[in-house]
Amino acid sequence: GNSVTQMEGPVTLSEEAFLTINCTYTATGYPSLFWYVQYPGEGLQLLLKATKADDKGSNKGFEATYRKETTSFHLEKGSVQVSDSAVYFCALSPRGGATNKLIFGTGTLLAVQP
Amino acid sequence: SQTIHQWPATLVQPVGSPLSLECTVEGTSNPNLYWYRQAAGRGLQLLFYSVGIGQISSEVPQNLSASRPQDRQFILSSKKLLLSDSGFYLCAWRPRTGTNEKLFFGSGTQLSVL
């Protein structure tokens, strides 16, 4: 079946530190991969996505590369800010079908301290 | 532009009481619609999805039901709430056609069943 595994949080970093949040997936075929972010008290927003192997999604200084050989989509940022504090969800969308369901990981809370 | 509205933002209900959460989408037609639940420490779980009026698919057996009485309206209901129904409920939509697999989320409803 399809599933997403994320590193457990919380992840606590100082401002300007390097961030990595690990995400691996299990899927039949070649899914699309996503990172969503949920700021406190809000719904989810798409942060970045990649639709095929070796694609790199990027947005707001965050990056993630679709690695088929390791079935991974790790999220990275070179220098985090306090405003990046949020919950980050890795997700996949199985290829094909009309429903385009998203399957999410459990989320990783990131807390950035000044 | 398209917008999604979800209400109420917070809700406190006693065990055994009924539930009705409403979600509407504006600025688009024939969207796919989704209800997700985010339980504490458990990440996001897809509850229901709908590809058209009156068409509801349930992903997990549960105490809740969903209905789609109009094209852009999606309702989550329960006749008798359980403690385990507490959580953060998110409505989402995506275009029925096209290759864009991005989901657009509402701002969520925090439900506390006491």
CA distance B78 to B75: 10
Which chain B residue has its CA at the smallest distance from A31's CA?
Answer: B101
CA distance B13 to B82: 10
CA distance A43 to A40: 8
Per-residue pLDDT tens digits for B87-98? 999 999 988 776
pLDDT at B61 over 80: no
Question: In the prediction, which pLDDT does B2 show?
Answer: 83
Question: In the prediction, which pLDDT does A1 show?
Answer: 80
CA distance B6 to B24: 7
Distance from CA of A70 to the nearest CA of B (A): 23
Per-residue pLDDT tens digits for A40-61? 877 889 999 998 899 999 999 9
Distance from CA of A75 to the nearest CA of B (A): 17
Question: In the prediction, which pLDDT does A30 show?
Answer: 84
* Among A5, A8, A9, A6, residue whose Cα is nearest residue A111: A9
Query: Which residues contact residue A87 at a Cβ distance below 8 angstroms, ignoring those fewer than 6 apart?
Result: A9, A37, A38, A107, A108, A109, A110
* pLDDT band for position B42 (cuts 50, 70, 90): low
Query: Which residues contact residue B99 at a Cβ distance below 8 angstroms, ignoring those fewer than 6 apart?
Result: none
CA distance B32 to A91: 18
Q: Is A94 helix (H, G, I), strand (E, B) or coil?
A: coil
CA distance B48 to B33: 8
Beta strands at B43-52 and B65-70: parallel, antiparallel or unpaired: unpaired
Q: Which of A8-12, A62-66, B25-29 has the highest mean pLDDT?
A: A62-66
Of B43, B102, B107, the CB nearest to A104: B43
CA distance A83 to B25: 29
Give φ, ψ of B83 to 5 degrees.
-55, -40
Contacts of B92 in chain A (CB under 8 A): 44, 102
pLDDT at B100 over 60: no
Interchain proximity B103–A103, CB inside 8 Å:
no
pLDDT at B41 over 80: no
Contacts of B38 in chain A (CB under 8 A): 107
Question: In the prediction, which pLDDT does A41 show?
Answer: 75
Average pLDDT, chain A: 91
Interchain proximity A103–B36, CB inside 8 Å:
no
Contacts of A27 in chain B (CB under 8 A): none
CA atoms within 13 A on the CB side of B38: 25
* CA A110 and chain centroid, separation: 12
* pLDDT band for position A98 (cuts 50, 70, 90): low
Of A44, A98, A105, the CB nearest to B90: A44
Interchain proximity B51–A32, CB inside 8 Å:
no
Q: Where are the beta strands (DSSP E) in chain A?
A: 3-6, 11-14, 19-21, 23-26, 32-38, 44-50, 56-59, 62-65, 75-77, 86-93, 103-104, 108-113
